[in-house]
Structure 1
């Protein structure tokens, strides 16, 4: 029997059985568009960060701090998001989340025109807070709307749309940001020192892409506001306090170890995505300009999209824990290669990690909430909050400054080993009284 959804998704009619999945197909298609958009916007940062590093003359630590601010939003916004969803309902909360994202995208315009590092950080925090609001509702919804045994498969399938957005973002950012800036088109292997006029011109290269993003988000908000989302029935309501008496989240090993698994996995994923362009553009690796490197970032995220589609099909037959173990071993191996090899071997090793990372987040998430029953809502909220682990990418930035960018990817390899531990032991559910 499916675990309960957040209370904000309740109202009216009873939930259709798994056989009536067609009833929810339009709603799931709409949710897929949200997954696409937040994947797209998140990965634009992969092209934005090397651009801002040149514009503001930042160290790797300062550059990764930008992404840390992005993921800190998950920590601060998750609980308020859950309370907002409970108060205004699922559909209105989605509209508000999209509105916040559009507002943050518009704030990038004054940030570019000043230009201001501080305003840029604030704008990205606003965008990330809007994404958090969408994530708090959408991930558990997809996970529990059907049979629990196919939850990992279902969430991997919808997350493939997230990866589709992430795959297209580097092309968009590479063309409209890096391709229109002096630093982005500089010859491979050169150190570009920008004049004040070039620095200002480069900063303003982000205005057009973020105006386009804001317009698309506004249109999507209008569509969702007018879309007849199906009401979720009483069977999905949050359990009453007396029903939950004597039950504790901390008795569920799969959740207790799943929270740090999400947290640690995000350090790995975000570190790879955000330092990718700087890494492959180095003379001893790919010897590419930043614009050229963004085309290879497209392959990294494309691998995640393909992996999620393959994973969604495979996990109809393979246990999710076994699939996660195989993926974590593969990821650890290629990250070790990327950390010590040179030339195209190191570059393609880093690109290939996208394939292994693909199933990790949705699989850890569904394993983490497995068997929680009336505690599903609270457990889901904690797992979404753990996305804040991406903020610790600043640690990799510090390692890159101190020991070298390539050596810093040993941190990523260590993160993969914790995911392997979770798959082999931490994700095993423990029977509770």
Structure 2
């Protein structure tokens, strides 16, 4: 565990790190939900990306309220509130499946994401603060590695619980149109059990947090509360971090959420096989997080970020122009090299913000709305061209933005000093 010696800090760090796993698991069930709901409700690729839109619009709407909760009531209340909202959204999957309404599923996902927004707004800066400032980026990457573990596990579990249930294509083709619609909609019920279990676990974790005394993070010298949210924008590196996180999350969602639609087209495999390869993507992501955390002991985080972004630009070109399994391998490589990006951008973005740290954290979390917007563009390109591989133009541009942040944009400069 990076640079944490106090027992109270160590236990708090373990608890906070568990949150990274839980929200990572929820996020990485979405790539399974997308093809499942696409089939159940006969959606286009663009329509199916509303799953991501419902999730990531919540980040934009809830990030500022989450920041205010943190400033007024503290991290502990914020975390418990986030966990309970997360759980409520999971439990709403049961009535959503019973009513067989796509819009109800989107509402449940939105509520889940409201809880995730509060959790991420609290957990990212709290984890980075639980120890010496000079190792904050390394520490946040370590916690985020367990998000990577969830990325590896969730698709493999999800495809077997959700995608393997229901009727075969031959059975559906033999039905009348009305019977086929009813049969497809009924398949949505396979989501009840996994989301009920997840919701129950979240309630239990919330109870543990309620009875745990978390250490109070001491404010650094010179930490004077920021005047307002716009005041934080006086730091140029924060502006760059917001733009880069918008690009990164958009790219990550394009890669992970649409992989089960992408791989069967580019490599000619089944959706269940694609789900297994998505787990391989998650394993690559997990290994990348741990290896990146290790490498940051020897390589400055911003340099590693810039290098990984350049490599991903090249891999996106392969994902666009390649054929067969080389495209799958390219996407696995993208997952490996984007593994360090979220925590590194976050930690570099809130560096030396002092009294503007909470507002800066909220702004970076708001930028996660890129996950709602950029996959839609991916979908429009895919539907418009009839080739889902062309959608990888979107992640390619995103990684170019991230490269510029790692190259120059990370430097801590107040705009008044320019």
Q: Answer yes or no: is the 8 Å Cα contact 1:78–1:136 preserved in 2.
A: yes
Q: Answer yes or no: is the 8 Å Cα contact 2:58–2:110 preserved in 1.
A: yes
**Which residue does 2:267 correspond to in 1?**
286
**Which residue does 1:270 correspond to in 2?**
253
Q: Do residues 232 (structure 1) and 217 (structure 2) align?
A: yes
**Cα distance change, pair 19–95 in 1 and its aligned pair in 2 (3 A):** closer
Q: Do residues 296 (structure 1) and 250 (structure 2) align?
A: no
Q: 1:385 pairs with 362, 366, 374, which one? A: 366
**Which residue does 2:382 correspond to in 1?**
400
- SS in structure 1 of the partner of residue 164 of structure 2: helix
**Cα distance change, pair 409–234 in 1 and its aligned pair in 2 (3 A):** closer
* C-alpha RMSD over aligned residues: 2.3
In 2, Cα distance between equivalents of 1:152 and 1:230:
20
**Which residue does 1:309 correspond to in 2?**
290
The more displaced of 90-99 and 299-308 is 90-99
Q: 1:134 pairs with 109, 116, 119, which one? A: 119
**CA offsets 1:220-277 (integer angstroms, 9 cap, x no match):** 1112112222233465896246xx79x9533422111111100011111001111100
**CA offsets 1:254-310 (integer angstroms, 9 cap, x no match):** 11111110001111100111110011122xx33222122111100111111111111
Q: Do residues 116 (structure 1) and 101 (structure 2) align?
A: yes
Alignment of 1:326-337 (within 5 A): 326-337=307-318
The more displaced of 82-91 and 96-105 is 82-91
**Cα distance change, pair 20–68 in 1 and its aligned pair in 2 (3 A):** same
Q: Normalising by structure 1, what TM-score?
A: 0.88
In 2, Cα distance between equivalents of 1:235 and 1:362:
21
In 2, Cα distance between equivalents of 1:79 and 1:254:
19
**Which residue does 1:12 correspond to in 2?**
none
Q: Do residues 175 (structure 1) and 147 (structure 2) align?
A: no
In 2, Cα distance between equivalents of 1:131 and 1:371:
25
- What are structure 1's unaligned runs of at least 5 residues? 1-17
In 2, Cα distance between equivalents of 1:205 and 1:261:
36
**Which residue does 1:143 correspond to in 2?**
128
- SS in structure 2 of the partner of residue 406 of structure 1: helix
In 2, Cα distance between equivalents of 1:298 and 1:381:
30
**Cα distance change, pair 389–370 in 1 and its aligned pair in 2 (3 A):** same
- SS in structure 1 of the partner of residue 29 of structure 2: helix
In 1, Cα distance between equivalents of 2:193 and 2:221:
43
**Which residue does 2:403 correspond to in 1?**
420
In 1, Cα distance between equivalents of 2:258 and 2:297:
34
**CA offsets 1:113-149 (integer angstroms, 9 cap, x no match):** 2200111110000000000011111111122333333
Q: Normalising by structure 2, what TM-score?
A: 0.92
- SS in structure 2 of the partner of residue 232 of structure 1: coil
* Offset, 1:198: 2.4
In 2, Cα distance between equivalents of 1:42 and 1:271:
13
- What are structure 2's unaligned runs of at least 5 residues? none
**Cα distance change, pair 224–170 in 1 and its aligned pair in 2 (3 A):** same
